[in-house]
Structure 1
């Protein structure tokens, strides 16, 4: 089965951040990626330098076009959908009405939900609602985003963590990157890989200093090391076949 990674969860917890880190990896590995975003803002815009970023709304027309594209483009290795925060109720209604996950499965794709969390209870509420609705119809990667701190008191050792484990899900860390460096990446409007390059384009080097590029490079490397140390993460993120 090929993989479709869909971001899920609360707003401003790192969904697009993790999507960008994955896109960098896919591009580095030479994978043919179908990338899409939902909502009003394309947070993956910087990656249009390297691939097409499609628009996807939770509408029947978009779904039919999306499914047809996946069936027609049989050379796609992995699909990444960066969806906006707090869209879960709408997604559940959409899935019930058109059997979204079933349709994807019927053409050879299984969904991985990429669900970052912080220390807020809202994150866990969304996660509970997601797995109660979809259970084992999909796989789950929970990303503990250390940008918000090192403690996750509403997840660690709680029933929700055991529920994720029982469904075959896996939990990983996303190491912290400073708010200042994030701001520099946004200002430069570049991919994370370009922001951490030793010899970036002039427009990037004018905004992101050498020491900041070093921080970005190290941060990306930590993410990559975590993924490549766990076979299940590679499988769920479509990096192994």
Structure 2
């Protein structure tokens, strides 16, 4: 079965785009046949870092074969429909970086188009990835995500360690007499997987972003210092180990 992986959530600033870039980098390294979508359009992080460029370094008009298709999911109906039209090329894997408030928008989109039912009819199994910060506005979106698609999708929750360690996520894990978040309680019942998104040193990420490099390119770019490249390489190894725990859900299982 083909995979339609969406990194989504209603809360902005949790690390969704960083998560998507890391997964996109893994797909490129393994030369997997995938269609990548940036739900924020041409201003989105995935498009900026992983779009296919011409010899002048300008994004090419046709990104379908080996780039990132920009889709303004918050735009007009015609633009939102491109998310569902992404199944037409029949790629074995689709990866979409969804904008903030995407869970609410997906609910309306599913109501209007029967999105999840159409994915099933086209032999796609959706995976919804939710990247968490420790705050209540973020943790409660997991329950909303599961309630949106129920058994029609698979789920991956990534604890973003940029915000701290396990004890900082007490709203998610529970503490003292307080129970875990309802979303964490629901997750196993729906076959969901919990992983972590390891912390990348801020200075390394700033250097990569300033130069508009992919993670793989940054590992060998001498404009970064040796310690920066070493820290990035170790981070990529740690991220890959986490991705391996959810390989089937992320489209990383099996041959390329």
Report the TM-score when normalising by structure 1.
Answer: 0.88
Q: In structure 2, what is the equivalent of residue 2 of structure 1?
A: 2
Structure 1's unaligned 5+ residue stretches are none
* Contact 2:141 2:183 survives alignment (8 Å): no
Equivalent residue of 1:240, what SS?
coil
CA–CA separation in structure 2 for the residues paired with 1:130 and 1:6: 11
Equivalent of 1:170 in 187, 193, 216: 193
Q: Give the deviation of 1:180 after TM superposition.
A: 1.6
| Cα distance change, pair 94–216 in 1 and its aligned pair in 2 (3 A) | same
| Cα distance change, pair 67–11 in 1 and its aligned pair in 2 (3 A) | closer
Equivalent of 2:136 in 121, 129, 149: 121
RMSD (CA atoms): 1.8
* Deviations 1:100-159, CA, capped at 9 Å, x for gaps: 111111111111011000111111122222212221111110000100000311111513
Residue correspondence of structure 1 range 82-121 to structure 2 within 5 A: 82-121=97-136
* Contact 1:13 1:117 survives alignment (8 Å): yes
* Contact 2:5 2:128 survives alignment (8 Å): yes
* Deviations 1:159-210, CA, capped at 9 Å, x for gaps: 321201111000001111122211111101010111123xx3xxxx32x211
Equivalent of 1:220 in 212, 216, 236: 236
Q: In structure 2, what is the equivalent of residue 240 of structure 1?
A: 253
Residue correspondence of structure 1 range 143-154 to structure 2 within 5 A: 143-151=158-166, 152-154=169-171
Structure 2's unaligned 5+ residue stretches are 54-65, 175-179
